Structures are given as C-alpha cells and as structure tokens.
C-alpha cells in the first residue's frame, strides 16, 4: 500500500461518512483532478475528519499530489481539500526487521 494512499482533509464534518466517501470518490476518480481507479476509501471520524484513499496505482496518487488546488463542490459550497501522502505508522517490530 506504500505510495498509493493519500490522506484528505477539508470536507465538512457534518457530512455523513458514507456521503463523504461518495463525494470524495467522484472527485478523485475524475481525470481532470489527476484521479484514477480507487482501491479503498475510509472516512475516519475526528475533528477535523479525514479520509484515507488508496488508489489502484501509485502513479495516480503521485498525479493527485501534483494538483495544487483540490476543491470539493457540494451544492453551491466549495471546500478546499488538503491532500497529503499517508505514512502508515510502523510498529517497532517492523522497524527492527528492516
């Protein structure tokens, strides 16, 4: 999964997780946003909420990171999204095996 997962923040907290996942899926599937096929999407609760989106290919994640301004439009409201690489935390066992 390394290099294929991105962390996305900036979508409205009041959006139900399933609806947020749908909106983000549509946004990140679009080629004009640098998107492509999505393997998995998880909306994590929190303040602010975030989503982890795993793409089929690492090239898609890299393309999306190169797009400077991702804006999610919901109705007439536009939400600027913050898109960053997701670094999975390694357990001490994984670090020592290296």
97 located within any domain: no
User: Which CATH number covers residue 15?
Assistant: 3.30.70
Q: Is there a domain that residue 44 lies in? A: yes
What pLDDT score does 98 carry? 40
- C-alpha triplet 3, 5, 8: angle, nearest 5°: 130
In a domain, 85, yes or no: no
In a domain, 54, yes or no: yes
Taking the model in full, what pTM does it have? Answer: 0.85
Q: How many domains does the chain have?
A: 1
> DSSP label at 13?
T
**Residue 28 CB: number of other CB atoms within 10 A?**
26
What is the residue-averaged pLDDT of the chain?
A: 89
């Amino acid at each position: 999964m390394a290099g294929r997962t991105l962390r996305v923040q900036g979508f409205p907290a009041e959006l139900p997780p399933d609806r947020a996942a749908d909106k983000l899926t549509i946004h990140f599937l679009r080629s004009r946003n640098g998107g492509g096929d999505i393997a998995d999407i998880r909306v994590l609760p929190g303040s602010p909420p975030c989503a982890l989106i795993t793409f089929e290919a690492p090239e898609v994640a890299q393309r999306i990171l190169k797009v400077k301004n991702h804006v999610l439009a919901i109705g007439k409201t536009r939400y600027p999204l913050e898109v960053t690489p997701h670094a999975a935390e390694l357990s001490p066992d994984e670090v020592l095996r290296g």
